[in-house]
Structure 1
Amino acid sequence: MVEQFIQETVQLIQTLPPVSIYLVFFTVAYVENVLPPIPGDVLVAFGGYLAAESVIGLLPILLLTTIASVFGFMSMYWIGSKWGEQIEGSPKGVRLLRFIPVEYLNKVRSWMQQWGMGVVLANRFLAGTRSVISLAAGLGHTKVSATILCSAISSVLWNSILLGFGWVVHENWRLIGEYLSIYGRIILGGVALYLLIRIGIYYYRK
């Protein structure tokens, strides 16, 4: 399903004029922060390939995807800030976002209490946790200006890497998706290991 989405989006982009291409990338970068199954990272890498082919500009696509990522992050932040009590009161998950377990959300909140805005700063590099981090930031009512700044720095760094790789590998940009998949598994495995260690330490001390 993900591969089909990528294929259809790429085919659509190849038929559009540059202005419309920018709009598609902006939309994908925004929605990817709200609905994690959207493979936004792979498509941003495709943007690097298009920039190398001079179809679009490298700086404009970096700027637009970064702005869209920050808007997406802050949209989830707003949801967490506005409906925090309802979200935390749900025993099975978030009504609007069933893919986010409350237990996972609470764990991310504990990370933020421990490391503060550093979690927001690293959010783009933590595959599979981005929406949870933005939601947790809203629940915690972190300072808006600092949250925007940290999410912007994280987004511009991550998008620069993706666009750069897309530019370098050129027509082999799809390979980046495979490496991102491996990277995501490593990150999620690391998170799971961290949770197991914390649980083990808790019961050992108890």
Structure 2
Amino acid sequence: MGSVLDWVVEVMRTLGAPGVGLATALETVFPPVPSEVVLPLAGYTASQGHYGLVAAIIWATVGSLVGALVLYWLGALWGAERLEAMAERIPLLHARDVERAIAWFGRNGRSAIFLGRLVPGVRSFISIPAGIDRMPLLRFALYTTAGSLLWNSALIVAGYELGAQWHRVEAYVGEASVVIYAVLGVAVLWFVVRRLVRRSQQTAAER
């Protein structure tokens, strides 16, 4: 982790604000460290005068959009049919589960994209179903930019204001992440239990 952070700092100091965009794009696609570390660090580096605060926010948002577009196209290339075929090979999943998820995304895609950018652990993943659903690219870019701008601004400004204490941002966001992951864990557990109960009822009915 330390060597990665050293590299991120070096990129930001060498390239300036565009380096923030590069680090954010790479973090979105290949997250060796989470955005709640990269972005406050970008704010701290801005506070040292290596680039402007507004420039950091703009370039970070550009980087977020570029990374999201890469994942969007990966989802589009993967496609619903392959995902459905994979679901059929996974215990307790079926192709119709994928169909329902895609249908839900079709109804709520704009909200999912915007709000997903504000949720640690979901920020990158949410681009993939958007690509699978083939959400109109302009709409995807618009809501991705809006959500990313809000998230990036909050974390970069926090790092800028905290200065050398920028790492405290990760602790605060980490606490919120634990709650989010707990909720997701309960949702997954509920899905598994429900599916097992349904399968048991079907087996009993067949007898």
Question: Normalised by the shorter chain, which TM-score bucket?
Answer: 0.7 to 0.9
The residue aligned with 2:65 is 70
Match of 2:44 among 32, 49, 61: 49
Shift of 1:195: 3.2
Partner residue of 1:188?
181
What is the correspondence of 1:1-206 to structure 2 with a 5 Å cutoff? 2-10=1-9, 12-13=10-11, 16-17=13-14, 20-84=15-79, 85-90=81-86, 106=98, 109=102, 112-113=105-106, 115-198=108-191, 203=197
Q: Compare 84-93 and 57-66 and name the one that shifted more.
A: 84-93
Letter in 2 for 1:170: G
Percent of aligned pairs sharing the same letter: 23
Aligned residue in 1 for 2:205: none
Residue of structure 1 equivalent to 2:204: none
Structure 1: runs of 5 or more not aligned: 94-101
Specify the code of the residue in structure 1 equivalent to 2:24.
A
Q: Distance in 2 between matches of 1:109 and 1:3?
A: 39
Q: Please, what TM-score do these two structures have when normalized by structure 1?
A: 0.78
User: How big is the alpha-carbon RMSD for the aligned residues of Structure 1 and Structure 2?
Assistant: 3.0
Deviates more, 1:126-135 or 1:150-159: 126-135
Matched letter for residue 65 of structure 2? V
Distance 1:188 1:113, change over 3 A: farther
| Cα contact 1:28–1:40 (8 A) shared by 2 | no
Q: 1:108 to 1:176 in 2, by over 3 A?
A: farther
Q: Between Structure 1 and Structure 2, how many residues are aligned?
A: 191
Q: CA deviation at 1:182?
A: 2.5
Larger radius of gyration: 2
Which stretch has the larger CA shift, 54-63 or 106-115? 106-115
Task: Specify whether residues 62 and 8 from structure 1 end up closer, same or farther in structure 2 by C-alpha distance, changes over 3 A only.
Answer: same
> In structure 2, do the counterparts of structure 1 residues 89 and 39 end up closer, same or farther at CA, with 3 Å as the change threshold?
same
Q: Please give the per-residue CA displacement for 1:115-136, whole angstroms capped at 9, x wherever unaligned.
A: 3311101122121122321011
Contact 1:111 1:119 survives alignment (8 Å): no
For each residue in 1:163-186, what CA deviation from the matched residue of structure 2 results, as whole angstroms up to 9, or x when unmatched?
Answer: 111122111001212223322222
Query: What's the CA shift for 1:87?
Result: 4.5
Q: Closer, same or farther in 2 for the Cα pair 1:113/1:191, shift >3 Å?
A: farther
Deviation per residue, 1:7-31 (Å, 9 max, x gap): 4433x247x44xx132322111111
Contact 1:108 1:132 in 2 (8 A): no
For structure 2, the residue ranges without an aligned partner over 5 or more in a row are: 202-207
CA distance in 2, matches of 1:130, 1:191: 14
Q: Is the 8 A contact 2:117 2:147 kept in 1?
A: yes
Deviates further, 184-193 or 106-115: 106-115
Report the AA paired with residue 131 of structure 1: S
